[in-house]
């Protein structure tokens, strides 16, 4: 018997997509959100005024509201032990324990794990001080990659073309303490196409979801700084169900086995960021949660009961015999960001056209950084919203996503114009 009252923790577009997919469950659960966002509230979901990182308040609210299942979206509460605290209070939850979530929380730890089980990844060294960094930069080969060893939502990664850029980056990390990290990973630069492959895990096995591709850079043509993600699409040409299964066997399952062996079974979603290099797939990073904006492209295609799958993931061995059914459609997701993102964001700009876009057939509008202000919906963050469209071809999905996005407008909007063009070209060729 599925949970009747489900609480989704988080405030982003990912959580809006989770809320909508959970409400499509045949068991028709009541869904609450903490803290949710303006779009989730406009869907008629009760939003609790609790910070997504306030573990104590999440547990207290889940108890007070008689919630029988909690779905934790973002990494911060997972790393802070939200699922452990809920378990202690006797409340079932989707997501890894704090110990298992370290795979995302510490790049040094995740590199150690990959090495222990032989998952292919970029060669790296840990830099523990500015002096140590400068020594290594003198003999590194370029381009090279520098990553702050903190949770930085994909923003603490610098691809340095030469030693001068690398020196500027380590100065930003160690002297300006831009991301608050005390350690930095210096990593071999990998070439190839990126694929995000998420797998549901029940502590024993990893079941792959549909693959997606994320656009990390702020500007068209993959230029400018890294962001949390400016768009995505699913599936990915060249990564069919068979390859996804094989990738899950080689990059997810060994980690699930090793964490179980170490006594920290991984429950939840294990997200592998992969680079498909000429020498084969290599792991760029693991995350311990759903991707954003990958989730906004993947979940609208899911035909299986999401609530049942998430509950099965929370149960040891619960995914045995479960399969995931996907609509044959393509999904394209466009992120609308506010002026200044990713360095800053602008607030309070009125957003027009939301309802008109959301009402279009095959289109969903997911809110992220939005707020209600005097009857209007206004911008309230860097990534403001995401528009997902479904279509029978990548081109149809993309054209519909851009047509729906044209109906939406706000001052200073940043919207890439080339999302999914690679998939469109490939499939049309």
Q: Which residues bind ligand GLY (CB under 6 A)?
A: 154, 214, 229, 287, 291-292, 294
Q: CB under 5 to 8 A by kind: which of ligand AMP, ligand GLY, none does 364 bind? A: none
Nearer to ligand AMP, 145 or 386 (CB): 145
Nearer to ligand GLY, 82 or 335 (CB): 335
Please, which residues have CB within 8 angstroms of residue 89's CB and are 6 or more apart in sequence?
A: 59, 62, 63
Please report, as residue ranges, which positions from 118 to 137 form the binding site for ligand AMP (by CB under 6 A): 122
Question: How far apart are alpha carbons 206 and 393 in whole angstroms?
Answer: 29
Determine which residue in the list 5, 134, 189, 422 makes contact with ligand AMP, applying CB under 6 A. 189
Q: CB under 5 to 8 A by kind: which of ligand AMP, ligand GLY, none does 294 bind? A: ligand GLY
Nearer to ligand AMP, 52 or 145 (CB): 145
Tell me the closest approach of the beta carbon of residue 354 to ligand AMP, in angstroms: 29
171 binds ligand AMP (CB under 6 A): no
Asked if 296 and 310 count as a contact pair (C-beta separation under 8 A), the reply is no
Q: CB under 5 to 8 A by kind: which of ligand AMP, ligand GLY, none does 351 bind? A: none
190 binds ligand AMP (CB under 6 A): yes
Range 27-39 burial, b when 16+ CB lie within 10 A, else e: eebbbbbbbbbbb
Tell me the closest approach of the beta carbon of residue 2 to ligand AMP, in angstroms: 34
Nearer to ligand GLY, 287 or 346 (CB): 287
Strands 347-350 and 376-380: antiparallel
Question: How far apart are alpha carbons 405 and 390 in whole angstroms?
Answer: 14
Range 386-416 burial, b when 16+ CB lie within 10 A, else e: bbbbbbeebbbbbbbbbebbebbebeebbbb
Sheet holding 383-391, edge to edge: 213-214, 231-234, 330-337, 383-391, 363-367
Nearer to ligand GLY, 91 or 331 (CB): 331
157 binds ligand AMP (CB under 6 A): yes
Tell me the closest approach of the beta carbon of residue 379 to ligand AMP, in angstroms: 25
Q: CB under 5 to 8 A by kind: which of ligand GLY, ligand AMP, none does 292 bind? A: ligand GLY
- Give the burial class of 317: count Cβ atoms within 10 A of its Cβ; 0-12 exposed, 13-18 middle, 19 or more buried: exposed
Tell me the closest approach of the beta carbon of residue 17 to ligand GLY, in angstroms: 12
Question: How far apart are alpha carbons 139 and 154 in whole angstroms?
Answer: 26
Question: φ and ψ at 35, to 5 degrees?
Answer: -85, -5
Determine which residue in the list 216, 289, 301, 336 makes contact with ligand AMP, applying CB under 6 A. 216
42 binds ligand AMP (CB under 6 A): no
32 binds ligand AMP (CB under 6 A): no
Question: How far apart are alpha carbons 27 and 76 in whole angstroms?
Answer: 29
Nearer to ligand AMP, 194 or 308 (CB): 194
Longest CA–CA span in the chain (Å) reads 60
User: What does R_g of the chain's alpha carbons equal in angstroms?
Assistant: 21
Nearer to ligand AMP, 161 or 327 (CB): 161
Tell me the closest approach of the beta carbon of residue 171 to ligand GLY, in angstroms: 25
Strands 267-277 and 193-202: antiparallel
Question: How far apart are alpha carbons 30 and 121 in whole angstroms?
Answer: 42
Tell me the closest approach of the beta carbon of residue 154 to ligand AMP, in angstroms: 4
SS3 content of the chain, % helix, strand, coil (to 5): 35, 30, 35
Q: Which residues here bind ligand AMP, judged by CB under 6 A?
A: 122, 145, 147, 154, 157, 159, 187-190, 194, 216, 226, 273, 284-285
């Amino acid at each position: 018997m599925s949970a009747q009252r489900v609480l989704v923790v988080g405030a982003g577009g990912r959580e809006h997509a989770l809320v909508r997919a959970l409400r499509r469950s045949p068991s028709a659960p009541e869904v609450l959100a903490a803290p949710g966002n303006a779009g989730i509230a406009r869907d008629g979901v009760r939003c609790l005024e609790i910070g997504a990182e306030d573990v104590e308040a999440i547990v207290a609210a889940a108890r007070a509201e008689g919630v029988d299942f909690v779905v934790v979206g973002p990494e911060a509460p997972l790393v802070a032990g939200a699922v452990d605290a809920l378990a202690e209070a006797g409340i079932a939850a989707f997501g890894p324990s704090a110990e298992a979530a370290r795979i995302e929380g510490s790049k040094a730890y995740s590199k150690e794990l990959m090495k222990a089980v032989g998952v292919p990844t970029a060669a790296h060294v840990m830099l523990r001080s500015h002096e140590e960094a400068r020594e290594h930069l003198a003999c590194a080969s370029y381009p090279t990659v520098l990553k702050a060893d903190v949770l930085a939502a994909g923003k603490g990664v610098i691809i340095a073309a030469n030693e001068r850029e690398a020196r500027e980056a380590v100065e930003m990390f160690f002297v300006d303490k831009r991301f608050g990290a005390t350690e930095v990973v210096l990593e071999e630069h990998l070439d190839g196409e990126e694929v995000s492959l998420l797998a549901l895990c029940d502590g024993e096995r990893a079941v792959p979801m549909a693959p997606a591709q994320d656009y990390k850079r702020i500007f068209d043509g993959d230029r400018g700084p890294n962001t949390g993600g400016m768009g995505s699409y699913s599936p990915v040409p060249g990564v069919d169900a068979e390859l996804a299964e094989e990738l899950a066997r080689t990059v997810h399952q060994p980690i699930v086995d090793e964490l179980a062996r170490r006594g920290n079974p991984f429950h939840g979603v294990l997200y592998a960021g992969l680079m498909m290099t000429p020498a084969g797939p290599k792991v760029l990073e693991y995350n311990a949660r759903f991707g954003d904006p990958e989730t906004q492209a993947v979940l609208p295609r899911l035909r299986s009961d999401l609530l049942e799958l998430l509950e099965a993931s929370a149960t040891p061995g619960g995914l045995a015999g479960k399969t995931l059914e996907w609509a044959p459609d393509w999904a394209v997701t466009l992120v609308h960001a506010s002026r200044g993102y990713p360095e800053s964001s602008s607030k309070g700009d009125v957003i027009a056209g939301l309802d008109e876009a959301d009402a279009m057939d095959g289109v969903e509008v997911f809110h992220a950084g939005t707020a209600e202000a005097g009857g209007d919906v206004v911008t309230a963050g860097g990534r403001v919203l995401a528009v997902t469209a479904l279509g029978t071809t990548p081109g149809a999905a993309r054209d519909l996503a851009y047509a729906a996005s044209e109906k939406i407008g706000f001052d200073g909007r940043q919207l890439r114009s080339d999302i999914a063009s690679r998939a469109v070209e490939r499939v049309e060729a």
